[in-house]
Chain A
Amino acid sequence: MRFIGHRGKHQSDNANLTLKIDVIQAQNIDVINKFDCNPICFVTTNTYYHNKTNKLKNSNTKWNQILKLKLPKNPKSEWLRVVIYDALPTMAPYSHSTSATATSMALNSPSISAASLNTMTSPSGSGRVKNIYNSSNGSPSPSGWDSPSFRNRYNFDDQEELNSSKTNNYLYLGEVRLSFFDIFKKKDTTTSYNFDVHPAWYPVYDRKRKTAMANDRIGEIQLGFKLESNSKKIPVFQSFNEWKNQLENNLENKKYMHDVTSSQTSLVNPKLSELVNNDARKVVSESDLAGSRTDSSSSSDVVSITSHPDLIVDEEDLDVEYDILSVVSSNNDLKNIDDGEDAIDLNLEENDEITKDDLFDIKEKGFDLQSMVTVLDEYDVVTPNSSNSATEGVGNIYESFNNFSEGTDDEEMEDTTDISFDSIGNTLLHLKKRTRMKKAKRSMSISSHHPSMNFHISKRIHASGVLYIKFDNIENLPPMKNKISRTTYIMDPFLITTFGRRVFKTSCKKHVLNPTFNEYAAFEVYPTETNHGFYFKVMDKDSFSYNDEVAECTLSWIDMMKEQGDACTWKTYKLPLKITSDSAPKDRKEAVLTIEMQFVPYNQLKENFWQKSVPNGAKKETFDIIELILFFERLGSFTDQDAVDFFKHFGKVAWTGDTITRQQLIEGLQSWNKSIDFRNVWRCPRCLKSCKATRPSRNSKLVLENDLITHFAICTFSGNHKLRKVSYVSTAFASKRWFSKMLIKLTYGNYVLGSNNANILVEDRDTGVIIDEKISAHVKLGMRVIYNGKGTESKKFKNLLKTMSVRQGKKFDSPSSIKNIEPFIKFHSLDLSQCEEVEFKTFNEFFYRKLKAGSRTPEGDNDTVLVSPADSRCAMFSSVHKSKEIWVKGDKFSISRLTRGFHSEVFNDKSCSLGIFRLAPQDYHRFHSPCNGKIGKPIYIEGEYYTVNPMAVRSSLDVFGENVRVIIPIKTPQFGTLLLIAVGAMMVGSIVLTLNEGDVVKRGQEVGYFKFGGSTIILVVPSKSVIFDSDLLKNSLEGIETLVKVGMSIGHSPESLEYRRQRVKIKNSKQLEQIKRSITVTEENAEDIGNVPWQYRALEKFIEHDPLDSLGTSDYDDDEKSASVP
């Protein structure tokens, strides 16, 4: 009974008031009458409570809708706003500032274009532009309204406005502001109310643009009101009184009880308007300055406006405005509190950014515009209005160049654009995310004013060119002994060519020492791959035993390009082969590999595209209208009218049966704006393969040419020559015999890049070589234990893993474990030259050996570069979602599970980027700080000891969420707080931190170390404050891990640029072998069963034994002798 009674009371306390607003129609609104508007009406009160009418078309304002609005229980404002917007036609989502810039760029009026330039050069545009209009045009006279600029002008003003839909932009027209006290008040009495107000006309005021003007009434709107209470017991009157009291309390100190009309005009105090005017005048003078230069080319405008005096004005200006806005928000209660806050927010942001922007501007001048032009046509700047893409593009490139010194030559510049553009792309993605977050937080959302938001660059990295290779012949191969018969000295050679992740294998020539292959290969080369080298390997095919390695040689990309020159013709390379086989006689003539190569850069391919593709696509010499239509149909999306226009271009009459020649067609396609940007062309004229934009480009207007052009180049080449296909993942795999491949397929799964199987592919970051990491037998076994474990038995296994890990850890701490060191070094072929000391007391001491000071210096000269925390194989993901798609397959995995809910408002799946750094046993096991900062309180989490091998990570097991781990929060000035999580893995005894809470840590400074075993560091960074390096992201997306070392750059803050990486070219095979060693154990070691480490033996023994018995009784110590590496 009491309970129910209580509930009743509770309900009465919270009687909800619902306001029904009958929005009938608007009239006399000039904008709506003059233009074809889609009016929409929003009602809002207390910021969070809002509703809207349907969007009407064709300037129809008869909404006739009843909008329900729940009144807040704790009202902060007495004001009800009814705002009329014009829903702008849906376009590709872009920021307001972009639209503003874009639309006004097209206009010729000097003041406007100057204003728009301001928007572009400084992010504070929105606020100031508003003022420019006020002052430069005075009060916009009706005649001025007819100009197209009028509508554009509106674009500037609604930036801080309600923007509830992602795709719609709303143009603010005007609003009615009513006080709840006034709406229901009966005219004659002060205390009685009428809760059913009949429709009446209310004046609509424009409160955004003409605050200084006395008459800002723009029309009327007919509204009716009805207040209802959802509680039947309490009359509306009573609940409204309660509500009103609440409100009055809230407004206690504020005495703004204006009636409806006076509230509209009296709020602007004279001082304020004066300020606004002053401010505006300044801007005008500035805009005049800039305006006088608009005659010159648009790109020079960008430069001219950045001269120093202007910049100073800029800054002053901004300060002034900032003051104004703060005055407005503090004094003017009528202005919606939230609006004010937003405005300040924006301005703060803008203030922060202006200095940086200025920097860009100053640096810009150092560059030669002409050198940019070639780059420009390669990049597509997505703006709603394509006419000004060139200018923006220039701006962009400048921006991206700001970190590079002026003295670079052309070639280098092109090189750098690739990288920096990529990073800008990341920024954008990033910023979009950020905006969305804001939207989620506040219902009154604003569009972010980050400088980068003014531009949309979207260009996938396109291939830098296509490389054709012809494998000619090999001379003077050494005769080899046949392993079986030991009689003949002739072999069956074949050639394996590796470039990055591309592996080609020629056919096998029987019984020759001077094989002639005459085989071809062709592939696209991406800019990131140009530091790779070619690696050639000659093998002797053997039907029964292993294929034998005979000889090898390397050729770096740079050496190759030196020979190529600019001519783009076939060049012959004669490469001396280094004989690797032992059985070859020593005193032979040098074996020489002859290949021919031709590298055609992308630009050239693009230039010649039509020249080559037209004869391919159409065999005829002349084309009539229908044949042209047919041809276009094969290429992509064109209309019949396009074909007719094409005829007109050549002065031909389409429908009389006139024809154009093939030459004319080519010329036309080369100059026609529809074909020149390849926007409508997406099908290969030769094989009709559709090279349409792929998934990630759907949202941005990507140019499709990249795929098509390179595809076509290879496609035509393959028509004339039979091409070798890229059918192998690694050199090792290509050299295997068919039954080995079969065996691998059966036991490991398909051998492809990034697939979810046991083949772990790791790319060495310095050289770009991809090597598959072999999983040692014990890991496989361990995984089998986990996967096959069910019920109680699996629990026991888990316990076993734990006790074994702990015990083994202890054992390795004892001095007797020192005998394990030597075999371990041998097993992993470790190079100890970088170690600080080579004398170890225990195995563990060896295991977490220190490196000499200076062997791992952090890359990048400033603190905004995030560096790798460990020598490891890393996978980086810009979002948790992505990582789950590709890498972390555990269903339950989430950041909050990983961190056990540590500050889940910051560290959650939506807002964080993820870096996973896996340490292999042979790696250096100390981990370092990725950035400067202060160590927070470390959190130890007990858990399981699963392996963190990719095979396990990519299983449904939540390895990271269950393993034992330490969370180390690091507070940094550049990236905010980030989490460094050291995850203990299979066989890891403990994680030791060498720093304490509150210590200040430098970038690259040691934080702690792992005792024995492979393990993982997870780096959790809020996405908005970091952009990971593009090569790492790219590899991770393909499911390839990248080998990084402590101190290598892995990311950077959004404001800075990506660290520019120089690839190391492989000079000799020894180097390659070294890399191979660092990634994996050698093949012989891995396959030799006697070489497996102690864990394998321990587990094997355990499994042979009845597992249930062995759990309790520890016969473990008996294993000690056999457990260690022999």
Chain B
Amino acid sequence: MGLFSRKAAEPAPSAQAKKDLIPCSKMFVDPPNKATYKPPPIPKLTPEQNKLYQSLLAHFADENLELPLNSNESTPTKPLSQWEKFWLSRECITRYLRAAKWNPTHAIKNLTDTLVWRREIGLTYDAEDKNQLTADVVAIENETGKETILGFDRDDRPLFYMKNGRQNTEPSFRQVQHMIFMMESAVTMTPQGVEKITVLVDFKSYKEPGIISDKAPPVSIARACANVLQNHYPERLAKCAFINVPWFAWAFLKLMYPFLDPATKEKAIFDEPFENHIDPTQLEALYNGKLDFKYDHEVYWPDMDTKLKQVRQKEFDRFVKFGGVVGLSEFDFKGDHEDLVYPVEMELLG
């Protein structure tokens, strides 16, 4: 009715008997409809876009390209490793081009920045690098399950839950590391032909042992995280759903909504039932889904780590198999097919 009133509450899920719920405690690797899954082809480019893409590809495929080890000036440089070439896929480059509004200079700069940043933060997967961001480093942060990856939405995008109310540590650098690690994991879990993920932010406060704070993180940390996502994971966020929004944030969002950029508006979901976007079989029971998920750190975390490593290793192996050069398609790594569908030199013109 009013401007600030929420939509009438959905009928209580009393009908959903306990027996309908699907018990689960681990991350899913495959989308629900795996058998019938038909990955969408890579979007085509216009001739101009293709030209820009080729120029970027040429830049990064250059064997002499060396990048510094971290963002400081006067640090030693190193050529791209296999893992970095793996990361520099066809989709990756186009993502950065899209994010930079097809400005090649900006795209190259952003890509370089991200590559350096990944070296700095430790996402190189290089056995030689000491300073790796592994599951063990940030394990302690997730003991209460404040961030989980579980299920897929109707467009087969992985669901990334962020539960502010399950905070178990003081604001620290490790918290940001944890967020980056989980983001990287969520991105890794994207199925073939999917680039984006869906983030669910839950503001509900939980009262459980180990949880020290039920408040949203400090603005500066939130801002630091947002900056990381914006700069180093461009074009990765499909939708961001907000659950249990406190009234003041609700009022703020409602007030701001008419002024938001339509693209952003589309991404933010805060007054729609999740069923429109997520199949109940993929949604936690807490949010009217059917998954009876109970986070158990001892079970979930090691399992997730293994699954992630498997997926990543499998993709990397396929990358090496298909030639191991910059510009191969993620479509090829993530699939199960034998032959290369999108060779590097193939021009995808629309």
Contacts and interface: CB of A to CB of B under 8 A. Distances in A.
Contacts of B177: 657
Interface string B175-196: 1110000000000000000000
A655 B224 CA distance: 11
Question: Does more than half of chain A's interface fall in helix, strand or loop, or is it mixed?
Answer: helix
A625 B70 CA distance: 15
A630 B173 contact: no
A643 to B, nearest CB: 9
B71 A644 contact: yes
Given A640-B224, A653-B120, A630 B171 contact: yes
B219 A626 contact: no
Contacts of A652: 72
B173 A627 contact: yes
B184 to A, nearest CB: 14
A1009 interface: no
A656 B131 contact: yes
B224 A629 contact: yes
B55 interface: no
Interface in A445-466: none
B13 interface: no
Interface string A603-641: 000000000000000000000111101101100000010
A651 interface: yes
Contact of B220 (A629, A648, A655, A656): A629
B70 A656 contact: yes
A633 B218 contact: yes
B172 A648 contact: no
B109 interface: no
A609 B73 CA distance: 31
A263 B221 CA distance: 67
Contacts of B172: 624, 626-627
A655 B227 contact: no
Interface string B108-138: 0000000001001110000000010000000
Interface in B211-262: 218-221, 223-224, 227
A655 B75 CA distance: 14
B72 A653 contact: yes
A653 B173 contact: no
Contacts of B122: 656
Contacts of A630: 171, 218, 220-221
Given A627-B172, A653-B120, A648 B72 contact: yes
B interface, size bucket: 20 to 34
A627 B172 CA distance: 6
A785 B121 CA distance: 81
A653 B119 CA distance: 11
A653 B69 CA distance: 10
Contacts of B227: 640
Contacts of A626: 171-173, 175-176, 220-221, 224
Nearest to B131: A656
Given A648-B71, A651-B72, A633 B121 contact: no
Contact of A655 (B73, B120, B171, B175): B120
B243 to A, nearest CB: 26
Contacts of A260: none
A626 B73 CA distance: 21
A629 B120 CA distance: 18
Contacts of A625: 173, 176, 224
A630 B224 CA distance: 10
Contacts of A654: 71, 120
Contact of A656 (B120, B175, B219, B223): B120
A931 B148 CA distance: 82
Given A626-B172, A626-B173, A653 B70 contact: yes
Interface residues of A, number: 18
A779 B172 CA distance: 68
Nearest to B226: A640
B170 to A, nearest CB: 10
Nearest to A634: B220
A655 B221 contact: no
B173 A657 contact: yes
A122 B220 CA distance: 49
Contact of B117 (A632, A640, A651, A655): A655
Given A629-B224, A640-B227, A648 B73 contact: yes
A624 B120 CA distance: 14
B220 A632 contact: yes
Interface string A933-963: 0000000000000000000000000000000
Interface string B6-17: 000000000000
B71 A655 contact: yes
Contacts of A627: 172-173
A621 to B, nearest CB: 15
Interface in B190-211: none
Interface string A646-663: 001001111111000000
B71 A653 contact: yes
A651 to B, nearest CB: 6
A627 B227 CA distance: 16
Interface centre among A625, A633, A653 (most CB of B within 10 A): A653
Nearest to A644: B71
A472 B289 CA distance: 72
Nearest to B74: A651
Contacts of A624: 172-173
Contacts of B121: 655-656
B126 to A, nearest CB: 14
A652 B70 CA distance: 10
B215 to A, nearest CB: 14
A680 to B, nearest CB: 14
Contacts of A629: 220-221, 223-224
B139 to A, nearest CB: 16
A405 to B, nearest CB: 53
Nearest to A624: B173
A626 B75 CA distance: 23
Contacts of A657: 131, 173, 177
Interface in B70-101: 70-73, 75
Contacts of A651: 72
Nearest to B177: A657
B85 to A, nearest CB: 22
A654 B173 CA distance: 10
A645 to B, nearest CB: 10
A888 B249 CA distance: 45
A474 B73 CA distance: 64
Identify which of A629, A640, A653, A656 gathers the most chain B CB atoms within 10 Å of its CB. Answer: A656
A503 B205 CA distance: 50
Interface centre among A632, A633, A652, A655 (most CB of B within 10 A): A655
A51 to B, nearest CB: 32
A648 to B, nearest CB: 6
Contacts of B120: 653-656
A632 B177 CA distance: 20
A655 B72 CA distance: 11
Contacts of B131: 656-657
B71 A633 contact: no
A529 B11 CA distance: 71
Contacts of B70: 653, 655-656
A203 to B, nearest CB: 38
A654 B70 CA distance: 9
Nearest to A641: B227
Interface of A: 624-627, 629-630, 632-633, 640, 644, 648, 651-657
Given A633-B220, A651-B72, A652-B72, 7 more contacts: A626-B175, A627-B172, A627-B173, A630-B218, A644-B71, A654-B71, A655-B71
10 contacts: A625-B224, A626-B173, A626-B176, A627-B172, A627-B173, A629-B223, A630-B171, A653-B120, A656-B131, A657-B173
Interface of B: 70-73, 75, 117, 120-122, 131, 171-173, 175-177, 218-221, 223-224, 227
A-B pairs, 9 with minimum CB distance: A624-B173, A633-B220, A653-B70, A626-B173, A655-B120, A629-B220, A655-B121, A656-B120, A640-B224
